Amino acid sequence: MAGEKYRVQLTALAENLNPKNRLYFDRLYDTLLLNGAIYNSEVVSELAYDVLLDLLDAQADGIGAESYFGLSAIQMSKKLLKQVDKKTKSLRNLTIWTVLIGLFWNYAVNISWFGIEPTPISWVCYLFEIILLSSGVFLLFKVFWFSLLVKSKRLSVIILWGYIFIVLSVFLWGQRFLKDFQALYISSFSSKIICLILFSLYVLWAIKFIKSTANKL
């Protein structure tokens, strides 16, 4: 059964859970899905399907989810993910594209689009942002896991978005205060042409990515 068929079956079968067990399963399944970027999503869906079948059997015997598994939803999801191989290529691609988009944005905003001032290219600024964004993507998953362990949903959201806000703030700080540090300068016309070429390449990649994703569904 393909990953998409598993998801359809999961949605239908989950309707048979009582409210307490449904809450448990939804949190477990949401956690698994949110880790789809670094784990094999089809295998994750298969594991969730098996868990749901076990949970329905336990419910028929009058046993609740947490009593049956002996673990909270988050702990159970961690246990399941240990059985799944990480998609290191996907994680690497996610990191690379996050860095490239960040660097492109940095380059584009420094261009004087309606003037003739040259565009600064600071290797210090770019190196700073490469390190920041690379580590930021890696730590995002750690922060995400930590936020899930917090019982308060509101606090969990605050922690996750607080982390994203901090990373973006540091990124913008670097872009503002390091852009002229040991910088080379490219003429206004050349920098605009380069930016348009880079943007065109990004659009072509995005179209290719969307088509390849659609073909997998």
Judged by DSSP in three states, 109 sits in helix
Residue 216 has pLDDT above 70, yes or no: no
Is residue 21 within 8 Å of residue 59, measured between CB atoms? yes
Q: Regarding predicted confidence, which is higher, 146 or 24?
A: 24
Percent of the chain whose pLDDT exceeds 70: 81
Alpha carbon 154 to chain centroid distance? Answer: 20
Give residue-wise pLDDT tens across range 8-37. Answer: 778 788 888 898 988 888 888 877 776 655
The residue with greater pLDDT, 198 or 6, is 198
Q: What are phi and psi of 54, to 5 degrees?
A: -65, -40
Using the predicted structure, report yes or no on whether residue 163 has a pLDDT greater than 80. yes
Average pLDDT, whole number, for the chain?
Answer: 81
**Token pair in block for residue 61:** 């015997």
Q: 192: pLDDT confidence band, cut at 50, 70 and 90?
A: very high
Q: Which positions ≥6 away from 85 have C-beta within 8 Å?
A: 39, 40, 43
* pLDDT tens digits for range 93-143: 777 888 888 888 888 888 888 888 898 888 888 899 899 988 888 788 777
Q: What is d(CA 10, CA 49) in angstroms, rounded to the nearest whole number?
A: 6
